[in-house]
């Protein structure tokens, strides 16, 4: 659920959305189709964790510590 909320936040910010699509190669349709796909959600969390300003912004928006998002990424990656 946390990863899905993070994805919604990324998609709601035009600059982050575009950077996510540029870095992952995913198109908007792929992102929408992958809302329940652990691989897509993991890619979103990895994207956030790779750029501290995005990680901080997402954690603030979600009301969690950045470490919580990083831990969620690790769980999805394992």
Q: How far apart are CA 50 and CA 41, in angstroms?
A: 14
Biggest CA–CA distance in the chain, Å, is: 30
Each residue's pLDDT, cut to its tens digit, for the chain (78 residues) gives: 889 999 888 888 999 999 999 998 998 888 888 888 988 999 999 999 999 999 999 999 999 999 999 999 999 888
Please tell me the pTM assigned to this model: 0.87
What's residue 1's pLDDT? Answer: 86
Q: Are 7 and 44 in contact (CB under 8 A)?
A: yes
Q: Are 36 and 60 in contact (CB under 8 A)?
A: no
What's residue 64's pLDDT? Answer: 96
């Amino acid at each position: 659920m946390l990863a899905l909320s993070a994805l919604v936040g990324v998609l709601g910010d035009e600059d982050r959305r575009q950077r996510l699509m540029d870095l992952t190669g995913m198109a908007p349709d792929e992102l929408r189709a992958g809302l329940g796909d652990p691989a897509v959600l993991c890619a979103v969390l990895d994207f956030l964790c790779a750029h501290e300003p995005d990680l901080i912004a997402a954690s603030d928006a979600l009301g969690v510590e950045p470490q919580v998002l990083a831990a969620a990424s690790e769980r999805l990656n394992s």
